Amino acid sequence: MPQPAQTNFALDPADTERLANLAGPFDEHLRQVELALGVEISNRGNLFRVTGADAGTVARTERLLRALYAETEEETFDSHAIHLRLNAAGQDLADSTPPAPAEGYVPQDVTIRVRRGTIRGRGPNQQKYLHAIATHDINFGVGPAGTGKTFLAVASAVEALNETRVQRLVLVRPAVEAGEKLGFLPGDLSQKVDPYLRPLYDALYEMMGVEKVLKLIEKNVIEIAPLAYMRGRTLNDAYVILDEAQNTTIEQMKMFLTRLGFGSTAVVTGDMTQVDLPKHVKSGLRDAVDVLRGVDGVSFTFFEARDVVRHPLVSRIVDAYEGRDARDADPGAA
């Protein structure tokens, strides 16, 4: 019977508060790591021992704990934050060779500071995305659900507003149903489209707090609107985000991109596998990717299933659907 692998190491400097942050209430965070990676963790103060079935898993666990401890200096962990790190660690277990950064990408640690704390990109694609947003006026984030496209865009927008680099935020979505019919909803026009814009509200509430968001919306510093409201406008000194852009038509996408004025930044996010337009209508996002690739000042970041930062099962679901679509597109490959 093979002997289990084991490693002993110290986390320096020995700081009681940081160690408590890492371990969590009643060592809850350490138990999360144990269950996810299949190891056993014990510690006395800053001295840790990790035991596992093989040396590779033990080494990855040590690297994870060291990385988490480094973050405890600036971030207070909860179970959700640990889950996100474990998701990334799970991808490493599935494939220990990370994807090469995109050609021409200069790695740079872009840090965003908002009410909830410090936000950094997880993995090379999120880091590339944040770097692109910081250095380009128009940015596209394209990829499956759960890869952080909208969350990171809203975080960047909130930081820009907090630092007065822009005067207002304009968050936009096309009002297209995802296969269901909402019927004749009560209220005025803004209330009727509210269900489509709810994810943007949720991200803002998490970044700034409900009370502050409502005050800024009342003052029109933050505007959350359906895409139809953008026609005929010019947006100066604004941070503009178009979410769910796969559901724009070609004309709508062109209209949106030409609203950008001086001192403004635009971020366009979408998932081309979840288009809810009629079948004969080409997605404006897909068209923009074809037309604008190579245009100076426009950046594209393409996310994959491995970049998903939701429940680890989500990335496997994305892979399964992509595999089915690939087989449907090429029946001879089955």
The whole-number pLDDT of residue 100 equals 42
What's the pLDDT tens digit per position in 198-249? 778 888 888 888 999 999 999 999 998 888 888 888 889 999 999 999 999 9
265-270/238-242 β-pairing: parallel
Give 28-48 as a 3 state SS string: HHHHHHHHHHCEEEEEECCEE
Do 5-94 and 111-333 come out as alike in CATH topology?
no
Half-sphere exposure in the Cβ direction for 3 (13 Å, CA): 3
pLDDT value, residue 232? 85
Question: What pLDDT does 93 receive?
Answer: 44
Q: How does 230-268 read in b/e, with b if 16+ C-beta sit within 10 Å?
A: beeeebeebbbbbbbbbbbbbebbebbbebbeeebbbbb
Q: Residue 125 to residues 107, 268, 271: CA-CA distances in angstroms?
A: 10, 16, 15
> How much is the average pLDDT of 104-112?
57
The H or E element containing residue 192 is helix 189-208
Instruction: Name which of 74-78, 115-119, 170-174 the model is least confident about.
Output: 115-119
Classify residue 307 by burial, with Cβ atoms within 10 Å: 0-12, 13-18, 19+. Answer: buried
- 290 versus 314: the higher-pLDDT residue is 290
DSSP state of 309: -
Which tokens is 92 given? Answer: 């490493």
Mean pLDDT of 75-84: 81
Radius of gyration of the chain from its Cα atoms, rounded to whole angstroms: 22
pTM of the predicted structure, to 2 decimals? 0.64
How does the average pLDDT of the chain come out, rounded?
Answer: 82
**HSE-up (13 A, CA, CB side) for residue 305:** 16
8 pLDDT band, cuts 50/70/90, is very high
**Two tokens at 131?**
């770097």
Q: How confident is the model at residue 6 (pLDDT cuts 50, 70, 90)?
A: very high
> Which H or E element spans position 325?
helix 312-329
Higher model confidence: residue 195 or residue 143? Answer: 143
The domain 5-94 having CATH identifier 3.30.1370.10: the answer here is yes
Degrees to nearest 5, angle at CA 32 with 153 and 25: 95
The answer to whether the beta carbons of residues 126 and 307 sit under 8 Å apart is yes
Which of the four pLDDT bands, split at 50, 70 and 90, describes residue 139?
A: very high
Quote the crossing angle between the two packed helices 189-208 and 210-218, to the nearest 10°. Answer: 130
Domain ranges across the chain: 5-94, 111-333
CATH class of 111-333: alpha beta
The confidence band for 109, taking pLDDT boundaries of 50, 70 and 90, is low
Torsion of CA 91, 96, 102, 108, to 10 degrees: 80
* pLDDT attached to residue 10: 95
pLDDT band, residue 99 (cuts 50/70/90): very low
- Among the listed ranges 116-120, 147-151, 179-183, which one has the minimum average pLDDT value? 179-183
Best CA proximity match to 305, nearest among 288, 317, 290, 294: 317
pLDDT the model gives residue 97 = 38
By CB atoms closer than 10 A (0-12, 13-18, 19+), residue 106 is: exposed
CB 42 within 8 A of CB 49: yes
Residue 212's contacts (CB-CB under 8 Å, 6 or more residues apart) are: 115
